[in-house]
Amino acid sequence: MAHVDIVGSGNMARGLATRLLHGRTDVRIIGRNADQTAELVESLGAGASSAPAGSPFTAEVVILAVPHGSVAEIIRENGESLAGKVVVDISNPVDFSTMDRLTTPAGTSAAEEIAALLEGRADVVKAFNTTFAKTLIEGSVADLPLDVFVAGDSESAKLQVTEIIARSGMRPIDTGPLHWARQLESMMPLMMALQVNPEHERFDWDTALKILP
């Protein structure tokens, strides 16, 4: 049975864990908030376990299900433990006070910043930044499988991630090298701004990006 380490115990960790467990991938939740982590693991049921923050990573794939602003500290604290892993960045570096810009410098992305911090010790894959917790828990949108856009420089790392995605009932879409994370991230300020705009009653956090057919 495959297993994945998920760093974080918030809504996205819950959504990702729910979907991965559906695909028979065991998950280990590593969170700073012990009570919240314990509650999450209990609610997830069989296949879910927990570990305190700072625990060595035991899975080949580690998903950083934390806000962009928390990622650098996690890498500084756990860099050696991430060596040889596939690190999945789901973050959106959006200025949440305005919802109209990214907080990363032009010409880069959050995923590329993570790769630079890791200094080649791990392969970074961008994925899940265009999906939201509600849709992950549901597993579909408008009765269609969720699309999960994936970017990364390592073909073998992307294959590991896309296999997990497909096994979980979602549709992986390989967008190419890691620099395409810039485009994946740049789509999200508009999408998030629409979701919080009261003039768009049909847009909420249960919407999703979907390519048809």
Question: pLDDT tens digits for 163-172?
Answer: 999 999 999 9
Whether residue 111 contacts residue 87, with contact meaning beta carbons closer than 8 Å, is answered with: no
Q: How many residues does the chain have?
A: 213
* Residue 165, domain member (yes or no): yes
Locus of tokens 């992986």:
172
What are the CA-CA distances from residue 5 to residues 58, 115, 192, 208 (Å)?
A: 7, 18, 27, 24
In a domain, 202, yes or no: no
- Band the pLDDT of 202: cuts 50, 70, 90: confident
Residue 141 in any domain: the answer is yes
* Range 56-68 average pLDDT: 97
Helices (H), 79-175: 110-118, 133-138, 155-167
Q: Tell me, what's the pLDDT at 14? A: 98
How many distinct structural domains can be found in the chain?
Answer: 1
pLDDT band at 117 (very low <50, low <70, confident <90, very high): very high
Which residues 6+ apart lie within 8 Å of 74 measured at CB? 7, 64, 66
Residue 206 in any domain: the answer is no
Residue 204 lies in a domain: no
The residue segments making up the domain with residue 16 are 3-196
Whether the model clears a pTM of 0.75, i.e. scores above it, the answer is yes
Q: Is the dihedral of CA 187, 192, 198, 202 positive or negative?
A: positive
> What's the mean pLDDT in 154-158?
98
Asked whether residue 161 is domain-assigned, the answer is yes
Mean pLDDT of the chain: 95
Confidence grade of residue 1 (pLDDT, cut at 50, 70, 90): low
Using the predicted structure, report yes or no on whether residue 98 has a pLDDT greater than 90: no
pLDDT in tens, 5-21: 999 999 999 999 999 99
- CATH label of the domain that carries residue 113: 3.40.50.720
Task: Provide the pLDDT for residue 213.
Answer: 81
